[in-house]
Amino acid sequence: MSVIIFIKNPALGKVKTRLAATIGDEAALAVYHKLSQRAREVALALDVPRHLFYSDFIDGNDDWDNTLFIKKQQAGGDLGERMHLAFVDTLQTSYKAVIIGSDCPLLTPGIVQLALDQLEQHPYVLGPALDGGYYLLGMRKPSPELFENMEWSTEDVAKITLERMAESGASCYLLPVLPDIDVEEDWRKYGW
């Protein structure tokens, strides 16, 4: 079993752009670093291989320890294709995997471990986000149909994903609904 972490290479004006629209690029970058640190702490608390996928390039000199994370670069076009290819890559050496990002401030190691445990009984696990997306997705085999022709960053992503799982006849374990940080109001409400 493995954890896949998706991050963006932190650069001024390139991360948390919806948040930056009201708090500015520098503050948004600082928030992104805090959220990334949280994701790193969650991943490090789990005794599993950690596959870290960067958006633009592999950074060997950042806060993600080269000995504790298997560093790779995201491949593919849209977010769906990149996530699918990360699962394809990771599931070659693991019999189950979950993917997380760095937008969910309330994610805990216990929730990720629960997801990994539930993959023993269910082909899928989903952690729905308050905005209609998801903060975690887990599976035992690559499932391209979950990612194709999806309009990402909309309020229907989790719902459509669950419908596609149901259409395939597969069960899905639902984790608690958690917030993610997209705009200033989210950060004021759930940030620290």
pLDDT tens readout for residues 73-115: 999 999 999 999 999 999 999 999 999 999 999 999 999 999 9
Rounded to two decimals, the pTM is 0.96
Rounded distance, CA 161 to CA 136, Å?
12
Percentage of the chain beyond pLDDT 70 is 100
Q: Which two tokens stand for residue 176?
A: 């608690």
- Give the contacts of 36 (CB within 8 A, at least 6 positions apart): 7, 10, 63, 102
pLDDT band at 36 (very low <50, low <70, confident <90, very high): very high
Rounded distance, CA 72 to CA 68, Å?
13
What would you report as the CA-atom Rg of the chain, rounded to the nearest whole angstrom? 16
Distances (CA, A) of 15 to 8, 31, 63, 66, 154: 7, 9, 17, 22, 18
Q: What is the pLDDT of residues 127-178, one digit of tens each?
A: 999 999 999 999 999 999 999 999 998 999 999 999 999 999 999 999 999 9
CATH domain 2-190 topology: Spore Coat Polysaccharide Biosynthesis Protein SpsA; Chain A (3.90.550)
DSSP H or E stretch at residue 6: strand 2-7
